[in-house]
Structure 1
Amino acid sequence: MMQYTTQWLTDKSRIKELVDFFITHKTKSYISHGEIISGRAESSEEWSADLESILTEQFNSDFNAGSPSASTVRILIAENAEKEIIGMLVFNVIYSGFKNYAVLEDMLLDQSYRGQSIGSTLLESAIEESGKWNISFLLLESGIDNKGAHHFFEKYGFRKVSENYILTL
């Protein structure tokens, strides 16, 4: 079994590495409405040609390891023994004044490490940590064809609450 560690990032020093990891390990089935409305994807079938700059801007502008009283992005990574990222979870924690919750914006793994419980370790750590965030629930969205991810999240108690539709004009 390969050795790996997990850690919450507390600064922006590894944003380029995160962006490169995302681009390397993304799949078309990963695209959901969140990728379309954020500009990351042109459609459910096509990633944006500007994905690198869009991700860099989003991770840099949203990343805020500061006060727990404002909305903030929290990033959990898994690293191999060489300190290379092999998995990542990105949460947007939203303190709206009405409902406090977190959106699991991104979860990507290096598929060459599949079957070594890295995704489970990351998600279990994040669920445990989220108990300290003063939130009511975790929310995520997933591409319609990302069936493996759907099964994985359901195993951890996530339940489908809606379907999204889009009309491109």
Structure 2
Amino acid sequence: MTQAHELHFRWNHAEDVAPAAAFAGRVIGAASSYISHGEIQTGLSDDGRSWVSNLERLYLEDFSDRGNRDLLVAHDAAGEVCGLLMLAWEASSRRRFAVIEDMAVDPSQRSQGIGKRMIDLAETRIRERGVEWVFLESGRDNEGAHHFFERAGFKRQSAVFARKL
């Protein structure tokens, strides 16, 4: 069992990109319940029900070219990736805001404080930039994640509808 004090978290390290992409491909790619409209919009899912076959490669591209995004990676005591969070910085003509684009914790290490610690670190980073709002989306059937985010203080704000033509 991993304890929070045995974890190491770091933002935007180039050496984390490939291991984080492999982690995302393995952990996120194992659960179709993770898929939301964002995965369709970004080409990670073609149908909203299954992942594309080159998911790890696409995560590698995304994590390598972060643009206006920050990648937080959690490492366990053995130095292995056990969690990640991708934070995007967005702005409209009226408001600046942050979006948690991706977040995952190794299933064998859930309920040990890793996700909570990543949310806390992201919120600190967001506040340091003077941003007041953070958004995220979660797959319709990803109830475990929904409960986690609600316990972390997030509220359901809307429903998203989509139609493939």
What TM-score do you get using the length of structure 2 for normalisation? 0.89
Structure 2 residue corresponding to 1:34, chosen from 34, 38, 42: 38
Runs ≥4 in structure 1, deviation > 4 angstroms?
none
**TM-aligned CA deviation for residue 145 of structure 1:** 0.3
Richer in strand (by share)? 1
SS of match in other structure, 2:128 = coil
In structure 1, distance between residues paired with 2:107 and 2:57: 24
SS of match in other structure, 1:161 = coil
Q: Is the 8 A contact 2:69 2:88 kept in 1?
A: yes
Structure 2 residue corresponding to 1:156, chosen from 149, 152, 163: 152
- Aligned pairs (5 A) from 1:63-74: 63-64=66-67, 72-74=68-70
What corresponds to 1:16 in structure 2? 18
Q: Is the 8 A contact 2:9 2:73 kept in 1?
A: yes
In structure 2, distance between residues paired with 1:12 and 1:18: 10
Correspondence 1:142 to 2:138:
yes
Q: Is the 8 A contact 2:40 2:47 kept in 1?
A: yes
Measured on the aligned residues, the alpha-carbon RMSD in Å equals 1.5
Amino acid at match of 2:97: Y
Q: Is the 8 A contact 1:99 1:136 kept in 2?
A: no
Unaligned runs of 5+ residues in structure 2 are none
Tell me the percent identity: 33
What corresponds to 2:9 in structure 1? 6
Amino acid at match of 1:125: L
Structure 1 residue corresponding to 2:102, chosen from 106, 115, 124: 106
In structure 2, distance between residues paired with 1:4 and 1:52: 24
What corresponds to 2:47 in structure 1? 43
In structure 2, distance between residues paired with 1:73 and 1:97: 19
- Aligned pairs (5 A) from 1:69-148: 72-148=68-144
Corresponding pairs, count? 160
In structure 1, distance between residues paired with 2:93 and 2:64: 24
SS of match in other structure, 2:15 = coil
In structure 1, distance between residues paired with 2:70 and 2:146: 22
Richer in helix (by share)? 2
In structure 2, distance between residues paired with 1:52 and 1:153: 25
SS of match in other structure, 1:47 = coil
What corresponds to 2:64 in structure 1? 60
